[in-house]
Amino acid sequence: MLEPVRSSVLFRGRWVQVDEEEWPDAGTWEVFKPKDAAAVLPVTPDGDVLLIRQFRAGARSLIEEIPAGLLDVEGEDPPSCAARELLEETGFRHTSLEPLVALHLSPGSSSELVHLFVARTEPHPEREPEEGIEVIRRSFDGAVADARAGRIDDAKSVLALLLADARMAAG
pLDDT in tens, 4-61: 999 999 999 998 999 999 999 899 999 999 999 999 999 999 999 999 999 999 899 9
pLDDT tens track for 75-98: 999 999 999 999 999 999 999 999
pLDDT band at 140 (very low <50, low <70, confident <90, very high): very high
Architecture of 35-170 per CATH? Alpha-Beta Complex (3.90)
121 exposure class (CB count in 10 Å sphere: 0-12, 13-18, 19+): buried
Which residues are identified as catalytic?
A: 56, 68, 85, 89, 131
Give alpha helix (H) positions in the chain.
78-90, 140-148, 155-170
C-alpha distances (whole Å) from 71 to each of 17, 23, 158 are: 15, 27, 21
Q: Is 145 strand, coil or helix?
A: helix
What's the maximum distance between 2 C-alpha atoms anywhere in the chain?
55
Cα angle at 71 between 68 and 74, to 5 degrees?
145
Q: Where are the domains of the chain?
A: 1-34, 35-170
